[in-house]
């Protein structure tokens, strides 16, 4: 007979049994906490089945909920495969697979046409690449110390400029030695690599070449696009390799910081970091920070119409101005950090998957895979990054970070920046990457077209 104070018999554990070994709910919870990327395993299975059914019924639409499911499933699946490959996982295989596997799947017709069309329409019409870049730039700038921010922006132009000159000379020399000809190597391989991607680089470059040389723009574009694609792939692989090197030799890297912070963190920055790291930022502050990022982007768009400065670059300067003038409170800065981390964690691989489907032509990438082109492109990108490494170290900056920023100068525009920094696990460098891509690319295209016009009457 039990005492009135004894617990009921039904609540007593059976001797030798462990309640946590029961499948429901403990086993199920363990299953839910098993993830592919950010996706709980049961949710992954349900979404995969639902999308298969919707595809078979012809119900895939380019609306927000459907595309979120498609891109999250595709992006994290490809990234997870890359991250599990021996050796390759150490050199950014997650970002490489998330970008280039979907490109190959589209080319070989392994993605249903209606899914491909929905992804292309969603990517182009929503322009969510710039939402991503806005959140990353604003969050990372708000997370920097003021002194480091000022010194970093002033210093970064030196390794970029020196790297561009040395890489241009070395790449042209290598291509010439391989029989490609100095003029062809420089204008059709080396310059496109550092032109700033497709929209801001290859297209205006091909238009300028066509006008100066009197050739069809389409034919010129077909020549300059493959080096852009392969140069970006080379930069992704090398950036991932530098991330691995940084883990072996930590004194060479700031893990996303461009240079050492020798001074004390300003009180406002310290308060913002402490609040963000405490996990106690309220939801309304996070929402306000997200809207702040969008507002700065729209101001950048307005500045583009007024001055011609690319919208991401204008937004970048506005964010720096807001940071340096203390226009953003520490509380809102903390919200910006959270937005930055959320976007980095949840949107990167889905975005890369969308880029692979909509903006990365597999056939153009494969067209660059001749041995002479490959050697020339690898030599150019390696020299660009290596020069950044050496010059950055001489200037007292972290050499791995400066090399990675220089790598973005050879990337596929904003999409390349995302892939390169993801492979390097250095998304905090996005503001400097945008300088390398947008400003560096614009200067490269402008200077090259001026030089070509001057050389037009000279023999090849």
Residues 379-417 have pLDDT tens digits of 999 999 999 999 999 999 999 999 999 999 998 877 788
| Residue range 286-325, pLDDT digits in tens | 999 999 999 999 998 998 888 877 787 788 888 888 888 8
Asked if 238 and 382 touch (Cβ cutoff 8 Å), the reply is yes
Least confident of 1-5, 80-84, 145-149, 362-366: 1-5
Query: Token pair 């020196």 is at which residue?
Result: 162
- Distance of alpha carbon 400 from alpha carbon 49, whole angstroms: 43
- Distance of alpha carbon 260 from alpha carbon 312, whole angstroms: 26
**Residue 356: HSE in the Cβ half-sphere, 13 Å Cα cutoff:** 28
Which pLDDT score, from 0 to 100, does residue 9 have?
Answer: 46
Which pLDDT score, from 0 to 100, does residue 19 have?
Answer: 67
Segment of 116-130, 144-158, 442-456 carrying the highest mean pLDDT: 116-130
Which pLDDT score, from 0 to 100, does residue 263 have?
Answer: 47
C-beta atoms surrounding 35 within 10 Å: 13
pTM above 0.95, yes or no: no
Q: What percent of the chain has pLDDT over 70?
A: 90
Which residues does residue 39 pair with via DSSP β-bridges, in sequence order?
Answer: 36
388 vs 12, higher pLDDT: 388
- pLDDT above 70 for 132: yes
- E-strand spans in 299-347? none
268 vs 154, higher pLDDT: 154
Asked if 139 and 339 touch (Cβ cutoff 8 Å), the reply is yes
The mean pLDDT value for 22-27 works out to 85
- Distance of alpha carbon 291 from alpha carbon 320, whole angstroms: 17
- Distance of alpha carbon 337 from alpha carbon 285, whole angstroms: 11
Segment of 175-179, 279-283, 306-310 carrying the highest mean pLDDT: 175-179
Contacts of 367 (CB under 8 A, 6+ apart): 226
Q: What is the DSSP letter of 131?
A: H
The mean pLDDT value for 267-295 works out to 75
Chain centre distance of CA 44: 24
User: How many helices and strands, by DSSP H and E, does the chain display?
Assistant: 22, 2
DSSP assignment string, 279-309: T---HHHHHHHHHHHHHHHHHHHHHHHHH--
Query: 317: exposed, middle or buried (C-beta count within 10 Å: 0-12, 13-18, 19+)?
Result: middle
Which pLDDT score, from 0 to 100, does residue 273 have?
Answer: 56
- Distance of alpha carbon 187 from alpha carbon 184, whole angstroms: 5
Q: What's the distance, Cα to Cα, between the start and end of the chain in Å? A: 105
18 — pLDDT class (breaks 50, 70, 90): low
Contacts of 48 (CB under 8 A, 6+ apart): 73
Which pLDDT score, from 0 to 100, does residue 16 have?
Answer: 52
104 — pLDDT class (breaks 50, 70, 90): very high
């Amino acid at each position: 007979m039990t005492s009135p104070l004894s617990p009921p018999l039904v609540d007593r554990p059976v001797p030798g049994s462990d309640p946590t070994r029961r499948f429901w709910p403990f086993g199920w919870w363990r299953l839910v906490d098993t993830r592919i990327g950010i996706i709980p395993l049961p949710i992954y299975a349900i979404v995969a089945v639902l999308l298969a059914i919707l595809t078979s019924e012809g119900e895939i639409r380019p609306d927000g909920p459907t595309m979120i499911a498609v891109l999250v499933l595709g992006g994290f699946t490809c990234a997870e495969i890359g991250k599990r490959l021996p050796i390759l996982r150490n050199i950014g295989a997650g970002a490489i697979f998330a970008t280039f596997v979907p490109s190959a799947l589209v080319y070989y017709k392994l993605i249903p046409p209606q899914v491909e069309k929905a992804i292309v329409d969603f990517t182009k019409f929503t322009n969510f690449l710039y939402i991503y870049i806005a959140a990353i730039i604003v969050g990372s700038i708000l997370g920097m110390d003021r002194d480091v921010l000022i010194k970093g922006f002033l210093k970064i132009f030196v390794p970029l400029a020196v790297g561009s000159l040395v890489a241009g000379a070395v790449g042209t020399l290598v291509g010439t030695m391989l029989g490609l000809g100095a003029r062809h190597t420089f204008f059709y391989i080396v310059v496109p690599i550092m032109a700033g991607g497709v929209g801001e680089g290859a297209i205006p470059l091909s238009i300028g070449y066509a006008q100066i040389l009197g050739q069809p723009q389409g034919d010129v574009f077909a020549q300059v696009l493959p080096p852009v694609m392969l140069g970006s792939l080379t930069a992704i692989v090398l950036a991932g390799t530098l991330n691995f090197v940084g883990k072996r030799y930590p004194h060479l890297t700031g893990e996303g910081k461009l240079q050492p912070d020798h001074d004390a963190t300003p009180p406002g920055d310290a308060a913002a970091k402490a609040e963000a790291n405490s996990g106690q930022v309220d939801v309304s502050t996070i929402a306000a920070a997200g809207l702040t990022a969008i507002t700065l982007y729209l101001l950048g768009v307005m500045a583009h119409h007024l001055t011609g400065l690319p919208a991401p670059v204008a937004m970048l300067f506005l964010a720096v101005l807001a940071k340096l003038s203390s226009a953003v409170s520490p509380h809102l800065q903390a919200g910006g950090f959270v937005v930055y981390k959320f976007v980095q964690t949840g949107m990167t691989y889905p975005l890369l998957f969308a880029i692979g489907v909509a903006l990365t032509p597999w056939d153009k990438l494969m067209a660059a895979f001749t041995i002479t082109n490959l050697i020339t492109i690898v030599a150019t990108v390696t020299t660009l990054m290596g020069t950044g490494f050496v010059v950055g170290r001489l200037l007292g900056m972290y050499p791995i970070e400066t090399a990675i920023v220089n790598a973005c100068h050879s990337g596929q525009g904003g999409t390349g920046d995302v892939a390169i920094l993801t492979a390097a696990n250095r998304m905090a460098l996005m503001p400097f990457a945008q300088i390398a891509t947008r400003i560096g690319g614009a200067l490269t295209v402008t200077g090259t077209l001026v030089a070509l016009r001057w050389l037009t009457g000279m023999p090849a």
